[in-house]
Amino acid sequence: MANLKEIRNRISSVKSTMQITSAMKMVSAAKLKKAQDAITAMRPYANKLTELLQSLSATLDADSGSKFAEQREVNKVLLVAITSNRGLCGAFNSNIIKQSNNLINTAYAGKQVDVLTIGKKGNDILSKTSTIIENRSDVFDELTFDNVAEIANKLMELFEAGSYDKIELVYNKFKNAATQIVMTEQFLPIVPAESDENVQLDYIFEPSKEEIVEGLIPKSLKTQLYKAIRDSFASEHGARMTAMHKATDNAGELRDSLTLTYNKARQAAITNEILEIVGGAEALNN
């Protein structure tokens, strides 16, 4: 059994860890509230914009359709893996890395698959096994629509130039603080809306429908990417808050266990000292 000094040192170390994890939990909780409000407010707009674009695109003739809706034979794929710049958030990053590798090795086996990483953690791991064309971990330094729009413009340019036949986003969708859903979402080409003959679009278009669609597409794609990154950002803080809460609870249990061990060892030491004193007194009396 470890001596009393070693146990005291371990108890002190566990208490220090508890203070750190508890502080990180509170910081993540504060950041989560802001990030959650941002993604909750944005989702209805982003979803409606995407729905409107898909519905309008579905009504266009094949010849007048957008270049971003062109369906090609898939030989070259680009995955946009969205992770975080920091760790200590449970399985948040590893789930994205695992899903990216799964797509590369199964769904797109035998095809050229490159990766654009958003987040330092994903870049550090995926760069060892995959071809990384660019890492944009800097976007989290100032997460604004304009900064994300730069990445979206690059993706649109790559698709338009024929560098890739398909571009997909891999990210964590925020559900609540304890739950994040790994999403694989097609970015380009634009996913056509499911045909429904009963749906009638009673709109008056000014200017033409084609011009409206061409104007909406870049904005919709930028919004789609911004929503995915915002989702991931909120999920990161939720995952970190949950991980730090569990770490604090585990540290508390370990502290209690060590305290009990310390008390038992201290009691045993005191008992031994008493026995030695009593034994010595008896020896003197004899």
Give the model confidence (pLDDT) of 100-147 as tens digits.
Answer: 999 999 999 999 999 999 999 999 999 999 999 999 999 999 999 999
Summarize pLDDT for 228-264 with one digit per residue, the tens: 999 999 999 999 999 999 999 999 999 999 999 999 9
Catalytic positions are 89
The Cβ of residue 43 has, within 10 Å, a number of other Cβ atoms equal to 15
- Output the pLDDT for position 21: 94
3-state helix, strand, coil in the chain (%, to 5): 65, 15, 25
Calculate what percentage of the chain has a pLDDT beyond 90.
Answer: 69
Residue 171: pLDDT band with limits 50, 70, 90: very high
Q: Tell me, what's the pLDDT at 202?
A: 65
**What number is the average pLDDT over the span 77-95?**
95
Mean pLDDT, rounded, for 67-84: 92
Strands 166-176, 179-188: pairing is antiparallel
Q: Where do you find CATH 3.40.1380.10 in the chain?
A: 37-243
The confidence score (pLDDT) of residue 137 equals: 94
Instruction: Tell me which architecture the domain covering 37-243 has in CATH.
Output: 3-Layer(aba) Sandwich (3.40)
Spelled out in words, what is the top-level CATH class assigned to the domain 4-20+246-285? mainly alpha
Q: Give the burial class of 197: count Cβ atoms within 10 A of its Cβ; 0-12 exposed, 13-18 middle, 19 or more buried.
A: exposed
Provide the pLDDT for residue 37: 93
So what's the pLDDT on residue 122?
95
How much is the pTM?
Answer: 0.86
Residue ranges of the chain that CATH labels 1.10.287: 4-20+246-285
With CA atoms as reference, report the closest residue to 93 among 104, 85, 105. 85
211 pLDDT band (50/70/90 cuts)? confident
